[in-house]
Amino acid sequence: MSLRRATISDVAREARVSPSTASVVFSGKTPVSDATRRRVLDAAAHLGYTGPDPRAASLRRGRSGIVGVVFEEHLGTAFLDPVKTLMMDGLAEAVAPLGAGLLLLRDQNPTSAVSEPAPSLMTAPLDAAVLIGCSGVLRESLDAVRARHIPVVVIEGDAGEGVPRIELDNREAQRRAAEHVRSLGHTRVATVTLPTRAGWRRGLMSEADERTISVEVTRERLAGVRDIYPDAPAYAAAGSFIDEGLAAGRELFADPRRRPTAVIAQSDLLAAGVVRAAEEAGLRVPVDVSVTGFDGIVVDGLAPYELTTLVQPATEKGRAAGAAVAAMLAEEEADSVRFTCIFREGNTTASVPTL
C-alpha cells in the first residue's frame, strides 16, 4: 500500500477527525463517542495502522515501560541460579501491572573500546533500574543511573543512601542454622561458602582470606556461622552449583581423621553437592554427616533428600523490588525491605553420631 507506514495523523485524516481525537481513541484517556471510535478504528484498519508508535509515545509520555535489570555476571550464568530465576519471576510479575517489561543488561562493556556502541544503562530508554547483587563494579553503573535521575532499587547489595534495598537477614538466618547444628551436638563443623569475590578460585580460606571477602552475602552468612563456630574451616566455592559443592565436599571428607560431622553450606545447590560427596565417600546422610543448605529451593534430582535449610522468599524479593520500582515511579517514597528467612528442617540433619 504505502511506502511510509501510516501515522496517527493519516488515520485521523482518513477518519475525518483531529489527530488528538484519533490518539484518544487508542489511549482511552478521554471518552469518545462510539460512532467516532468506530470511524477511527475502521480508518486504522483500512490503512493498516497497528497502533501508536511506542517510540513516539514514550518520548511524549516520558515513560517507556521498560525496567532494566542489571547483572554483574554473564547473562547465561545468572540464570543458572534458581534464586535469581525466581526473583526475576517475582519481578516480572510485579512490574507487569505497570505495563512494563524487563530489559536484561550487564554492567560492564566487555569491549569497553569506544568503537562499539554500548547496550548499556546510558543508551537504553529505562523507566527504572534494578541492580542485582551490587558489589563493587556495579557501583559505577549505579552512579550512571542516578545521574540520569532514574529510580533504582538494589537487591542484595549496598547502594548508598537514598536507594531502596531488598535484602535478607543473612547473618541471623545462617546463625539459626548453625545453632540448630550445635543443638544436635556437632562440634566438628565445616562451612562451604559462596564465591568471595569476582573471579576467585575455590578452596579453603585462611583467616586473611576471610577478611577480604567482598561479596556481602557471602560475608554475612559466614559471619552467621562464625557467631556459633568461630573456628570452623571454611571452604569457598567458585559458584553456586552442585558440582562446586561436590568438589568442596570431596575435599572436606578426604581425610577421615579430620572429617566434619556437619557441613553448613551457603546455598542449597552447594549443599546438594556436599550430600553427593558424602554418599560418594561412603558416608550416610544424615546419620554420619549432617548437611544444611540455604535458599529453600527445590533441588531438581536430589530426592529423596530434603535439605535442612533456610527458606528465603526469593520470589517475594523480586516482587518487593517491583513494588519499590512502582512506588518510585509514582513519585512515592519507597523504602528498603529486609526479608526474614525461615528455618526448615529436612532430613539431612541429625544428632552427632556417637562413636
Give the nearer residue to a copy of itself in terms of CB position, either 112 or 354: 112
Taking the complex as a whole, the smallest distance from the CB of residue 212 to a copy of itself amounts, in Å, to: 28
Taking the complex as a whole, the smallest distance from the CB of residue 3 to DNA amounts, in Å, to: 11
Instruction: Convert the chain into a string of H (helix), E (strand) and C (coil).
Output: CCCCCCCHHHHHHHHCCCHHHHHHHHHCCCCCCHHHHHHHHHHHHHHCCCCCCHHHHHHHHCCCCEEEEEECCCHHHHCCCHHHHHHHHHHHHHHHHHCCEEEEEECCCCCCCCCCCCCCCCCCCCCEEEEECCCCCHHHHHHHHHHCCCCEEEECCCCCCCCCEEEECHHHHHHHHHHHHHHCCCCCEEEEECCCCCCCCCEECCHHHHHCCCCHHHHHHHHHHHHHCCCCCEEECCCCCHHHHHHHHHHHHHCHHHCCCEEEECCHHHHHHHHHHHHHCCCCCCCCCEEECCECCCCCCCCCCCCEEEECCHHHHHHHHHHHHHHHHCCCCCCCEEECCEEECCCCCCCCCCC
Between strands 203-204 and 234-236, the pairing is: antiparallel
Total residues contacting a copy of itself (rule CB under 8 A)? 66
Q: What are phi and psi of 34, to 5 degrees?
A: -60, -40
CA–CA separation, 339 and 344 (whole Å):
16
Total residues contacting DNA (rule CB under 7 A)? 32
Contacts of 259 (CB under 8 A, 6+ apart): 188, 252, 253, 283, 289
Assess 30 for contact with a copy of itself (CB under 8 A): no
Q: What are phi and psi of 210, to 5 degrees?
A: -60, -30
Q: Among residue numbers 6 through 45, which ones bind DNA (CB under 7 A)?
A: 7-9, 16-21, 23-24, 26-27, 29-33, 35-36
Q: Which does residue 252 touch among a copy of itself, DNA, none (CB within 5 to 8 A, set by kind)?
A: none
Q: Which does residue 148 touch among DNA, a copy of itself, none (CB within 5 to 8 A, set by kind)?
A: a copy of itself
Q: Which does residue 38 touch among a copy of itself, DNA, none (CB within 5 to 8 A, set by kind)?
A: none
Contact with a copy of itself (CB under 8 A) among 47, 126, 130, 189:
126
180: nearest Cα among 313, 291, 306, 341: 291
Window contacting a copy of itself (CB under 8 A); options: 15-23, 51-59, 190-198, 333-341:
51-59
Assess 354 for contact with a copy of itself (CB under 8 A): no
Give the nearer residue to a copy of itself in terms of CB position, either 5 or 16: 5
Q: Which does residue 24 touch among a copy of itself, DNA, none (CB within 5 to 8 A, set by kind)?
A: DNA
Contact with a copy of itself (CB under 8 A) among 18, 20, 50, 351:
50
Contact with DNA (CB under 7 A) among 41, 57, 80, 184:
57
Give the nearer residue to a copy of itself in terms of CB position, either 99 or 199: 99
CA–CA separation, 232 and 222 (whole Å):
10
Contact with a copy of itself (CB under 8 A) among 16, 38, 74, 258:
74
Give the nearer residue to DNA in terms of CB position, either 4 or 211: 4
CA–CA separation, 30 and 42 (whole Å):
19
Q: Among residue numbers 178 through 217, which ones bind a copy of itself (CB under 8 A)?
A: none
Contact with DNA (CB under 7 A) among 13, 41, 52, 200:
52
Assess 62 for contact with DNA (CB under 7 A): yes
Contact with a copy of itself (CB under 8 A) among 16, 54, 137, 345:
54
Assess 85 for contact with DNA (CB under 7 A): no
Binding site for DNA (CB under 7 A): 4-5, 7-9, 16-21, 23-24, 26-27, 29-33, 35-36, 49, 52-53, 55-57, 59-62
Binding site for a copy of itself (CB under 8 A): 5, 48, 50-51, 53-59, 62, 64-66, 68, 74-76, 79-80, 82, 85-86, 88-89, 92, 95-106, 110, 116-119, 122-126, 144, 147-149, 241-243, 246, 269, 272-273, 276, 300-303, 315
